Amino acid sequence: MQEELARQISESLRLRLIPEDQKCLAKRPTQNRKAYQLSLKAQYHLAKSTPEGLQRGMAYARQAIEADPLYAEAYAYLSSTYSGLGLLGFLVPAETFPRAKAAALKALEIDDSLEEAHSVLGIVRLYYEWDCSGAEVALRRALELNPNYAWGHAFLSEWLLMMGRHEEAITEAQRGIELDPLSATLVFKLGQEFCYRRDYDRAMEQLQIALELEPNFVWAHVYLAQVCAWKGRYEESLAACEKAASLFGGNAYSRALRGLILAMAGRIDEAKTILNDVKKQPELDSMALISLADIYSVLGEKDEAFELLERAYQERVSLMIFLGVYPTFGNIRSDPRFADLLRRMGLPSEAGR
């Protein structure tokens, strides 16, 4: 039906289609109705960017693959769920990004024209392999294939941010929202960009819009807590932190975040109590390493901060990619060890300046 409608429209408008266009019109990703319906459900849940949404999206994508093992889009959705779980810290990087890459490569083996699969490859290269040049190639290829791919613009904006190209990053993030204005995650990503530009008022505006679209989007609450703290509004910050903690289930990362806010508020003893309690956990949440390093940075304890950042580097924690632009590392930015970390990750030393 879609193919026939596209043919009739092109004929009615007297469009002259080149062979590549004709090939796209004739393309049928799957003949299996069940697989197609399952993929729609996978897309729906994937867009929520919540732990439950990503897990359900993964389940539907797997079912679509079982229904049609040659359904390239289903592999692309599976790769996106894995990368989402890794990016948002819901599973450890070593469990998610390699699987995201494998699923993306399988999708491209079937159909090399899938922008989503190219985009996931770019994300894996940027956030896990720290291959910034390879990430750019994949992310730009995704947009060459589909200039109206909203997520492609959002992910390219993150690469530009890491490279210190802030104005271009904002433009790409805004383009993503123009293409998909009801995506809480895309709105959040623009707020994130403003955070790292130190434009906290505009960041807060975008984060609040994201929460209107998805009230339980945990990372919007996390960044709202951080923005309020950076603006010196500590009680609001702690309230947002409490909401994030309830959504995270009181994990180590949310507790470390509270410790960071208390340290920034000058409540040093309380911050140190949380810091020491979290560090004692036998299996420390990898994402918590960043917030613990933040606390040490705010307290001016550089050696301890770098010890934790080195652990985060070894574990390939996705948040490490923001090292060069993160505001609370100001106390350790001039240390040669900081520049060395950026160099090893392929990031420019001036990205956050």
Q: Is residue 45 part of a domain?
A: yes
What is the value of pTM for the model shown? 0.85
Structure tokens of 169? 């990053």
**Which residues of the chain fall short of a pLDDT of 50?**
20, 23, 25-26, 352-353
Q: Is residue 324 part of a domain?
A: yes
Q: Is residue 170 part of a domain?
A: no
Q: Is residue 16 part of a domain?
A: no
Q: What is the pLDDT of residue 151?
A: 94
Q: What is the pLDDT of residue 7?
A: 62
Query: From residue 39, how far is each of 76, 107, 153, 218, 329 by CA, in Å?
Result: 10, 14, 22, 25, 42
- Sorted by sequence, the CB contacts under 8 Å of residue 3 that are 6+ apart come out as 25, 26, 28
Looking up residue 44, the CATH number of its domain turns out to be: 1.25.40.10
Within 13 Å of residue 343, how many CA atoms lie on the same side as its CB? 5
Q: Tell which of 92, 114, 145 closes a domain.
A: 145
Q: Is residue 37 part of a domain?
A: yes
Q: Tell which of 145, 171, 186 closes a domain.
A: 145
pLDDT digits (tens, 9 = 90+) for 210-254: 999 999 999 999 999 999 999 999 999 999 999 999 998 888 889
Q: What is the pLDDT of residue 49?
A: 76
Q: Is residue 133 part of a domain?
A: yes
Q: Is residue 8 part of a domain?
A: no
Q: What is the pLDDT of residue 8?
A: 67
Residues of the domain holding 76: 31-145
Q: What is the pLDDT of residue 26?
A: 47
Q: How many domains does the chain have?
A: 2
Q: What is the pLDDT of residue 50?
A: 79
Eight-state DSSP code of residue 318: G
Q: Tell which of 127, 145, 163 closes a domain.
A: 145
Query: Cα separation of 211 and 38, whole Å?
Result: 28
Query: Cα separation of 104 and 117, whole Å?
Result: 5
Structure tokens of 314? 């070894």
Q: Is residue 166 part of a domain?
A: no
